[in-house]
Structure 1
Amino acid sequence: MNVLCGYNVNIDSVYRISGTEISELLDTFQAAEILEKIENPPGIIISESDFVAGLAYCMKEGSGAEWLVFEKSVFEFLKSRYFGKSIVRMGGNAGIMANALSQLGASRVVPNVAVPSKTQISLFSKKAVYLPEASNSFKRDGGTTPEENNSNLSSSQEPIHFVFDFSEGEVFSLYGTEVKVPRENRFIATCDHLNLRLFVSPAFEQYALQHACEFDGVLISGFHLLIETYPDGSTYKTILDNTLSRLRNWKARNDKLRIHLEFGHFASKEIANSVFLRFAKLSDSLGMNEDELAIFYNLHGVPGEGLHNMEAEAIADAAFRLASRNGLKKIFIHTREFVLTVFKPNFTSNSEPDSENPVNVRTSGEVDNPENPENPESPALQREAGEKLEALDFGVRCAAAYAASGRLEGREFVEEEASKLQESAFGREQLEAFLKAFNGKTLGQGAYAFRKGYVFCILPTLLSRYPVTTVGLGDTLAAGIFLRGLELDVQT
């Protein structure tokens, strides 16, 4: 399988900071300035004191946050002080998914790379990732970078996300007051102005356009990084228009191209809704976690409590409503405990989707007819549900193996690592609740149900008791599901 991956690829510089270190750092700044910024967090970083206040605030509250860095001197401060002693790894949804696809057996994976620095390139998988170069004529005609803003951060600056992990129980001194960190979390100082615009490199733009007919799928992500207004006065709406136009051009050259859009944590509900509504019908599938699903309450109407608590009935209901009301082909929701997909099957149903109530009213004779594809025992329904569950299972195993080992070394490695892990007990409980709520049927380790023109499938995840990493699991799972889904589409 050949796959294009856009749009956000960056470098993650991960450093675990101790209470002693933050205490020493705080002592180098004026107490009044830091305390005022802790009381009224600026939310962005234009000075070193903004960074220190943000980090201290998150450690004090045990909360997580990501603030953008808008000043080159702060970038240099962070890089010189922490980069050399950090764990440097691939960052960005597109970068993580590209590496996962490469390691899992894709034939060719072409990612969009905003700044192909030596460090960034070194973080890519060597198996199937291909980084094209743009011709001189294409460089002149397209792919221009946005104007640099007043921050003096260069548009060619390496996109680095400085991730500061801190542990529960760490103690530090906040100008004479002892503070104990209430829970483990992280503070991220992000120096990444090109990915905030979904910048497309000339090399990627040219290659994708010229070779669209050779690709099987496109994984797109990074939309959660968009902001409402940029320093040059432009808005996210123009970026969405350009992205939509680009995807349509690819589809026009290859109508078999499968597009999957993976969501992220949006700071703006307005932007999240715009992305969903603009890309819903063009995309062949959408992916998100339960918290990201909750942000679309205005579109599905399911209260957030059940979604945040990972209740299968609530999540299935919300996903169904999103799908049926917006003409989605497929949506899948990944949680820590289970994965669930809602999709429009290939067989034709005479019933129309009911966005308010997913119960399909049929006479007993119609439902019991084994030739009726809506009958849970029908071969057509079982075949389609089985394929989707197989793709979900592959994604679950990939994410579990990665969590347990921190590596993906091919499919045999995935199977070996996954076989050592335990199924989520809570996920199994939710599968049982799903069966009762939707009159579903078990199939292998998962279950499925048919309601009003859509098929629901659910599968518990596999959990590692002592995970090596928890970063990138959703992206790894999404890449695995997408890749296996493409393979099964070709086989059928």
Structure 2
Amino acid sequence: MWHKAFLAALLALSIGYYYQMHPEFPELAKQYVYSLIQPFSAHISSLQVNSHTASSELTISLAWEALITSPLKQWSKIAVGVNACVDVVVTGVGLLQALALEPGKGKDHEILRSKEDLKEAFLYHMSKGAAAERFYSDEEMFQRIARAASEYPGAQVYVGGNAALIGQKLARHPQVTVLLCGPVGPKLHELLDEQILVPPESLQETDEYHLILEYKSGEKWGSSQAPNANRFIFSHDVSNGEMNVLETFVASLEEFKPELVVLSGLHMMEGQGREVWEHRLHEAVAAISSIPNKVPIHLELASMTDKDYMNNIVKQQVLPRVNSIGLNEQELLFVSQAGSGPHSELHSWNGFPDIGKVSDILFWIIKEYGHGEENSEASLTRIHFHTLAYHILVTTDGFWSNQVSAVSAGARVAGTQACGTERIDIGRVFLKIPFEFQVSASGTGHKVTLNPSNPVTVWQRENTSFFLTPVLVCKNPLRTVGLGDAISAEGLLYSEMIKK
């Protein structure tokens, strides 16, 4: 069998070199060659293909195919709630120009109260290439902007809301039955996968609309330029903002009997004001607490700006009651800032999130708020962190298995979904992660060198395991919204919780 492995490795080297010299190599031919190589991917991995000679992207893609295996016990029934809407996706700069707005200086706003606030917040986050989501307080003005967006040339309508997007991704796997509970209007119901079960109690007469302003890598408006592709989201969404269907969601679990619960939408309450969110968050915690302990809960976080609200979620209310969380670099840093954690003095990442600093914050979260000797009542034992260039899965030892597969599957779907392809297209992706990095910025971490033929780097801190893999970043992404939800969904599908 060694000669087959050698030939496969030689073919991988040749094709990798040819991809680099001939990027116009037809997609059909690429996929044909890929299908020839795939059965030998494990052997290519074992030969440690030299990353400087072969295409690192090809080597990583093949190695993932060998590493990604389904867990021994797969989830078959997953309940997802509670935010759902219709997304209207448009080019951000084009829409703002259509609204007769002129470029200027960027400035962040916790709540948008005018078109000027919208423009400034968009420019602020566009210049950083960072995803963000904000509440637009003026309902009448929001409806005018929404009409302009829906009529804008090239505007597209999609399933929206973290819960609905996660449900859509999970429902594409035939072994999974998905229950989705959220404010589902007629347009959203029409867009949802036919395999998704929607409780009648969560159907409503009108849809909630979210506007997704996308921008491309290098796109300019005035003096602002995007370092990478991303999006800015805003809405005037009362149903999701008040989490109106949370109790309906929890009540439906008794009959559905899920093996896993995925919860999202807490960020939507932030825009309702302190008096509303304090009261509603207390009710939300009571509802979550009624879910049987034997059913694991994954919480998907999203963009927030109110430190008091984040502190209530993290310290006192929700985080200790869930088993797993998913978040990106903006949310990770905000958790640390709200709780005075490691590197909380940073105002933003200013580009590439440093792996050592990210690792320090992740370790602090799971030690501070996760299950352990001092927090035996807490349930948190897993964090799935995703950013443009890499993903890290962090688990408390003894609670989760198959996490090498899980982090690889999450990274793989980031590359395929962003480019709109079924498989990784080597000619359309690139590596952004550094080949050498520190696993901690505290001075105690060692340096690691990325090995493309074994692309999941694993290290240990006390009783906590870290699993890192690079992302094959799409050069010209077709759509960025929902990418984090797809990543978390795929990671969960390949994860197995160890029963205690």
TM-score, L = length of structure 2: 0.68
Cα separation, 2, equivalents of 1:228 and 1:39: 18
Cα separation, 2, equivalents of 1:5 and 1:40: 31
1:287 is matched with: 326
Residue by residue, what CA displacement relative to the aligned partner does 1:151-202 show, whole Å, maximum 9, x if unpaired? Answer: xxxx96521112344676667xxxxxxx565447765441211111122167
For 1:3, the aligned partner's letter is I
2:404 is matched with: 389
For structure 2, the 5+ residue unaligned runs are: 1-75, 372-379
Aligned counterpart for 1:123 among listed residues 180, 191, 195: 191
Aligned counterpart for 1:194 among listed residues 231, 239, 254: 239
| Bigger radius of gyration | 1
**Is 1:93 matched with 2:162?**
yes
**Shift of residue 76 of structure 1?**
4.2
Residue by residue, what CA displacement relative to the aligned partner does 1:193-251 show, whole Å, maximum 9, x if unpaired? Answer: 1111122167534322333xx21111111222222754xx8431222222222222222
Counterparts in 2 of 1:44 and 1:418: CA distance versus 1, 3 Å: same
Aligned counterpart for 2:397 among listed residues 345, 359, 364: 345
- Which SS does the other structure have where 1:332 is aligned? strand
Aligned counterpart for 1:398 among listed residues 413, 422, 432: 413
**Is 1:276 matched with 2:314?**
yes
Task: Spell out the pairing of 1:336-485 with structure 2 (5 A cutoff).
Answer: 336-346=388-398, 387-405=402-420, 413=422, 416-417=423-424, 422=429, 424-426=431-433, 428-430=435-437, 437-438=445-446, 444-485=454-495
2:364 is matched with: 321
Counterparts in 2 of 1:238 and 1:210: CA distance versus 1, 3 Å: farther
Query: Contact 1:97 / 1:475 at 8 angstroms: preserved in 2?
Result: yes
**Is 1:26 matched with 2:105?**
no
Aligned counterpart for 1:161 among listed residues 206, 210, 214: 210
**Shift of residue 70 of structure 1?**
4.2
Counterparts in 2 of 1:419 and 1:110: CA distance versus 1, 3 Å: farther
Query: Contact 1:398 / 1:476 at 8 angstroms: preserved in 2?
Result: yes
Cα separation, 2, equivalents of 1:454 and 1:41: 37
Task: Spell out the pairing of 1:72-221 with structure 2 (5 A cutoff).
Answer: 72-85=139-152, 86-114=155-183, 116-126=184-194, 128-134=195-201, 157-165=206-214, 179=222, 182-183=225-226, 188-200=233-245, 204-211=249-256, 214-221=257-264
Counterparts in 2 of 1:465 and 1:206: CA distance versus 1, 3 Å: same
Query: Contact 2:430 / 2:475 at 8 angstroms: preserved in 1?
Result: no
- Which SS does the other structure have where 2:87 is aligned? strand
Cα separation, 2, equivalents of 1:306 and 1:427: 23
Counterparts in 2 of 1:96 and 1:420: CA distance versus 1, 3 Å: farther
1:13 is matched with: 88
**Greater RCO between the two (CA within 8 Å, min separation 6)?**
2
For 1:320, the aligned partner's letter is F
Query: Contact 1:392 / 1:459 at 8 angstroms: preserved in 2?
Result: yes
- Which SS does the other structure have where 1:250 is aligned? coil
Cα separation, 2, equivalents of 1:389 and 1:440: 17
**Shift of residue 60 of structure 1?**
6.6
Query: Contact 1:259 / 1:285 at 8 angstroms: preserved in 2?
Result: yes
**Is 1:261 matched with 2:299?**
yes
Counterparts in 2 of 1:14 and 1:463: CA distance versus 1, 3 Å: same
2:353 is matched with: 310
Cα separation, 1, equivalents of 2:413 and 2:109: 39
1:365 is matched with: none
Query: Contact 1:226 / 1:271 at 8 angstroms: preserved in 2?
Result: no
For 1:429, the aligned partner's letter is E
Residue by residue, what CA displacement relative to the aligned partner does 1:402-446 show, whole Å, maximum 9, x if unpaired? Answer: 1110x7xxxxx4xx3367765624154348889x93487989421
**Shift of residue 103 of structure 1?**
1.5
Query: Contact 2:162 / 2:485 at 8 angstroms: preserved in 1?
Result: yes
Cα separation, 1, equivalents of 2:392 and 2:436: 14
**Is 1:241 matched with 2:309?**
no
Counterparts in 2 of 1:421 and 1:433: CA distance versus 1, 3 Å: farther
**Shift of residue 26 of structure 1?**
3.1
Counterparts in 2 of 1:103 and 1:58: CA distance versus 1, 3 Å: same
For 1:241, the aligned partner's letter is H
Query: Contact 2:168 / 2:193 at 8 angstroms: preserved in 1?
Result: yes
Query: Contact 1:104 / 1:480 at 8 angstroms: preserved in 2?
Result: no
**Shift of residue 479 of structure 1?**
0.6
Counterparts in 2 of 1:224 and 1:292: CA distance versus 1, 3 Å: same
**Shift of residue 84 of structure 1?**
4.1
Cα separation, 1, equivalents of 2:108 and 2:345: 28
Cα separation, 1, equivalents of 2:340 and 2:123: 36
Task: Report percent identity of matched pairs.
Answer: 19
**Shift of residue 91 of structure 1?**
1.4
Query: Contact 2:243 / 2:266 at 8 angstroms: preserved in 1?
Result: yes
Query: Contact 2:323 / 2:382 at 8 angstroms: preserved in 1?
Result: yes
Supply the RMSD in Å over aligned alpha carbons.
4.0
Cα separation, 2, equivalents of 1:431 and 1:40: 32
For 2:192, the aligned partner's letter is F
**Shift of residue 271 of structure 1?**
1.0
Query: Contact 2:212 / 2:231 at 8 angstroms: preserved in 1?
Result: yes
Cα separation, 1, equivalents of 2:426 and 2:219: 34
For 1:103, the aligned partner's letter is R
Cα separation, 1, equivalents of 2:303 and 2:108: 23
For structure 1, the 5+ residue unaligned runs are: 135-142, 146-154, 172-178, 348-383, 408-412
- Which SS does the other structure have where 2:445 is aligned? helix
Q: How many residues align?
A: 399
Cα separation, 2, equivalents of 1:79 and 1:428: 44
Cα separation, 2, equivalents of 1:40 and 1:400: 30
